[in-house]
Amino acid sequence: MMLDHCYSGVYKGFLSDSRIAVRLENCLSDLLSSGTAVINRLAPTHSLKAAFYRMLSNKRLEHDDILEGGYRLCNSTLNSLKHVLCIQDTTEFNYRGIRNKLGELDPNIGPTGNKTVPGFFCHPMLVVDAESSSIQGLSSVIIYNRTWHQKDKNERNYAQLPIQDKESYRWIKSTELSRGIIPETTVMTVIGDRESDIYEEFIVVPDQRTHVLVRSRADRNLSDKGKLYSRLDGIVPQGNSTIHVSSTKKRKARIAHMDISFSKVIICASRNYKGEQKTIELSAILVKERAETVPDGELPILWRLLTTHRIETLEQANQCIEWYKKRWLIEELFRVIKTKGFGIESSQLGSGAGLKKMLSMTLLVALKIMQLKLGLKDESMQAADVFSSNQIDYLDMVRQRVEGGTELQKNPYKKQTLAWATWLLARLAGWSGYKSHGPPGYITIKEGLDKFNQQFIVYAQVMEHKDVCKD
């Protein structure tokens, strides 16, 4: 029985050493199967542990080489898409527990937000189909670290530096890198949070097929001497909508009723901007929760969005709001990678280069978990996008065990779709299967995938033994 997997052939012809390519593809499959980025947990045998360590310490393999395979996978899904959302954000990975093992001489490790904690930063761009919201992959990932004993911003005269020399340039560079992955015929809307509200981004990034949509960070000056926030506050709401708010430590779950206002604005560059174009015309959108749905003790939800898309109707404003709401997908990607998923920050590797390679692998694998979840909403996605043919056969065996006796406990999705597979994984993890109980979450799906992979390994070994006996 030949065991193919969803990463088979991804690096074929790209990496100069075919042995490294096959080893990397198998390690990605093992990482997906185990559900953990901690090698001592994901590798059940000494030989498998050794294979991982050899690959992660191999100086001929860079973390960018690993990510390139992900870009190739992303590019292969985009040819038929007219418009994609390019969602970007930054997160940090800290390795407080292994600081003594890493040391300050490692060029791939530096201080994080807490200047005493070692680690690095990761800035991915997640590509999502604007129409279906299905995840297509990653078009760029910037992994970088600061240096120990770096001068502070005042000492470096940071405000006067050109944008190319600032850490914030990553918000622009990510789009420049992504243009080489996303077909020229595909429209891009680049989405970011308040940290990406950078004047230079509005100047450099837009072109005939590229738009910017960000949440405002500052009350910018307008060309008519007014202020952005006052202008938006002075507009009578032009429409309304609702937003589903999930429960968090700071907010209660609810359906929030939102007022919507929008206007054309001409914003001014900051006094430190050295470029020639001192103003730029944008569309601004105010999304503010009505008092009637704000719980006691909470502040209302308030978004001020800036975009290069032309907003002239309520429908256009609502479309941009819906696109911006997809930004939560990249937050979910970080959640799957970290403590609630693969536990990347619990890795015990002794070098920054090795940790960056493991992060690169985990990013690619975490996308598969997210695709499973989103597959419940997009029944055009096929199980073959994630699972091998042998695994799909075994999924059908799982179906016979986890389906209940009533129609309500039968798998409601078409066989061999990704939604069909995800439903089965969730049932393996203990989810009830009843639609009235709500859809399964990422962690439930991941736990189900972990159980499935453990069972499939045993099944594959039995089938392989039978094949040998036949011979």
**Last-in-domain residue among 331, 349, 367:** 349
Q: Are residues 282 and 339 in the same domain?
A: yes
For residue 326, pLDDT over 70 is answered with yes
Question: Dihedral sign, CA of 218, 223, 227, 228?
Answer: negative
- Cα dist. 22→8, 18, 127, 182, 213 in Å? 8, 6, 26, 26, 40
For residue 221, pLDDT over 70 is answered with yes
Domain-embedded: residue 464? yes
**Last-in-domain residue among 307, 331, 349:** 349
Rounded distance between C-alpha atoms, residue 218 and residue 230, angstroms: 12
Instruction: Write the pLDDT tens digit of every residue in 175-210.
Output: 999 999 999 999 999 999 999 999 999 999 999 999
Domain-embedded: residue 38? no
pLDDT at 454: 80
Instruction: Write the pLDDT tens digit of every residue in 415-438.
Output: 999 999 999 999 999 998 887 788
Domain-embedded: residue 358? no
Q: Are residues 126 and 268 in the same domain?
A: yes
Rounded distance between C-alpha atoms, residue 98 and residue 118, angstroms: 9
pLDDT at 344: 93
Average pLDDT for residues 368-389, to the nearest whole number? 83
Domain-embedded: residue 57? no
Average pLDDT for residues 242-248, to the nearest whole number? 87
pLDDT at 1: 38
Q: Give the closest residue to 324 by CA, choosing from 86, 74, 122, 82.
A: 86
The 3-class SS string of the chain reads CCCCCCCCCCCCCCCCCHHHHHHHHHHHHHHHHHCCCCHHHHCCCHHHHHHHHHHHHCCCCCHHHHHHHHHHHHHCCCCCCCEEEEEECCEEEECHHHHHHHCCCCCCCEECCCCCCEEEEEEEEEEEECCCCCEEEEEEEEEECCCCCCCCCCCCCHHHCCHHHCHHHHHHHHHHHHCCCCCCCCEEEEEECHHHCCHHHHHHCCECCEEEEEECCCCCEECCCCEHHHHHHCCCCCEEEEEEECCCCCCCCEEEEEEEEEEEEEEECCCCCCCCCCEEEEEEEEEEECHHHCCCCCCCCEEEEEECCCCCCHHHHHHHHHHHHCCHHHHHHHHHHCCCCCCHHHCCCCCHHHHHHHHHHHHHHHHHHHHHHHCCCCCCCEHHHCCCHHHHHHHHHHHHHHCCCCHHHCCCCCCCEHHHHHHHHHHHCCCCCCHHHCCCCHHHHHHHHHHHHHHHHHHHHHHHHHHHHHC
Domain-embedded: residue 160? yes
For residue 3, pLDDT over 60 is answered with no
For residue 17, pLDDT over 60 is answered with yes
Compute the chain's Rg from CA coordinates. 24
User: Residue 268: pLDDT band by 50, 70, 90 thresholds?
Assistant: very high
Average pLDDT for residues 257-267, to the nearest whole number? 97
Q: Are residues 243 and 335 in the same domain?
A: yes
Instruction: Write the pLDDT tens digit of every residue in 101-157.
Output: 887 889 999 999 888 899 999 999 999 999 988 899 999 999 999 999 888 887 788
User: Residue 467: pLDDT band by 50, 70, 90 thresholds?
Assistant: low
Q: Are residues 344 and 381 in the same domain?
A: no
pLDDT at 325: 94
Domain-embedded: residue 36? no
Rounded distance between C-alpha atoms, residue 140 and residue 455, angstroms: 35
Q: Are residues 434 and 303 in the same domain?
A: no
User: Residue 409: pLDDT band by 50, 70, 90 thresholds?
Assistant: confident
Asked if 149 and 116 count as a contact pair (C-beta separation under 8 A), the reply is no
- Looking at the structure of the chain, the number of domains it has is 2
Average pLDDT, the chain: 90
Look at 120-129, 195-204, 285-294, 371-380 and tell me which has the smallest mean pLDDT.
371-380
Q: What is the CATH number of the domain that holds 266?
A: 3.90.350.10
Q: Are residues 440 and 331 in the same domain?
A: no
Instruction: Write the pLDDT tens digit of every residue in 340-360.
Output: 679 999 988 989 999 999 999
Q: Are residues 272 and 204 in the same domain?
A: yes
Rounded distance between C-alpha atoms, residue 270 and residue 199, angstroms: 8
For residue 227, pLDDT over 90 is answered with yes
Q: Are residues 165 and 296 in the same domain?
A: yes
User: Residue 100: pLDDT band by 50, 70, 90 thresholds?
Assistant: confident
Give me the count of residues in the chain.
Answer: 471
Domain-embedded: residue 43? no
pLDDT at 250: 85
**Last-in-domain residue among 349, 364, 383:** 349
Range of the domain at 452: 375-470
Q: Are residues 108 and 255 in the same domain?
A: yes
- pTM for this predicted structure: 0.89
Q: Are residues 403 and 333 in the same domain?
A: no
pLDDT at 97: 83
For residue 332, pLDDT over 60 is answered with yes
Q: Are residues 429 and 317 in the same domain?
A: no
User: Residue 2: pLDDT band by 50, 70, 90 thresholds?
Assistant: very low
pLDDT at 238: 96
Q: Are residues 256 and 291 in the same domain?
A: yes
For residue 469, pLDDT over 80 is answered with no
pLDDT at 102: 84
pLDDT at 66: 96
Asked if 39 and 347 count as a contact pair (C-beta separation under 8 A), the reply is yes
pLDDT at 468: 55
Domain-embedded: residue 213? yes
Q: What is the CATH number of the domain that holds 388?
A: 1.10.740
